[in-house]
Amino acid sequence: MGYRVVDVDSVDPEPDRPCECRKLSDSGGLDAAAINRFRAAPGEQLPLAYHYHETQQEAFYVLDGTLAIETPDETYEVPADDLFVVDPKSPQRAYNPADADAPVTVLAIGAPPADGDAVAYEPADE
* pLDDT tens string 29-80: 999 999 999 999 999 999 888 999 999 999 999 999 999 999 999 999 999 9
Q: Is 126 within the bounds of a domain?
A: no
Classify residue 14 by its DSSP letter: P
Beta-carbon-side half-sphere exposure of residue 103 (alpha carbons within 13 Å): 11
Q: Is 39 in a helix, a strand, or coil?
A: strand
Which residues touch 72 (CB under 8 Å, ≥6 apart)? 91, 123, 126
Q: Do the Cβ atoms of 40 and 100 come closer than 8 Å? A: no
Q: Is 120 within the bounds of a domain?
A: no
Q: Mind listing the pLDDT tens digit for each residue in 25-43?
A: 999 999 999 999 999 999 9
Q: Which helix (H) or strand (E) holds 104?
A: strand 104-111
Q: Do the Cβ atoms of 58 and 86 come closer than 8 Å? A: yes
Which residues touch 29 (CB under 8 Å, ≥6 apart)? 2, 4
The domain spanning residue 108 has which CATH number? 2.60.120.10
For the chain, percent of residues with pLDDT exceeding 90: 87
pLDDT of amino acid 5? 95
Q: Is 87 within the bounds of a domain?
A: yes
The sign one gets for the Cα dihedral 28, 102, 94, 116 is negative
Q: Is 108 within the bounds of a domain?
A: yes
Q: Is 36 within the bounds of a domain?
A: yes
Q: Is 85 within the bounds of a domain?
A: yes
Range of the domain at 89: 16-113
Domain count, the chain: 1
Q: Is 5 within the bounds of a domain?
A: no
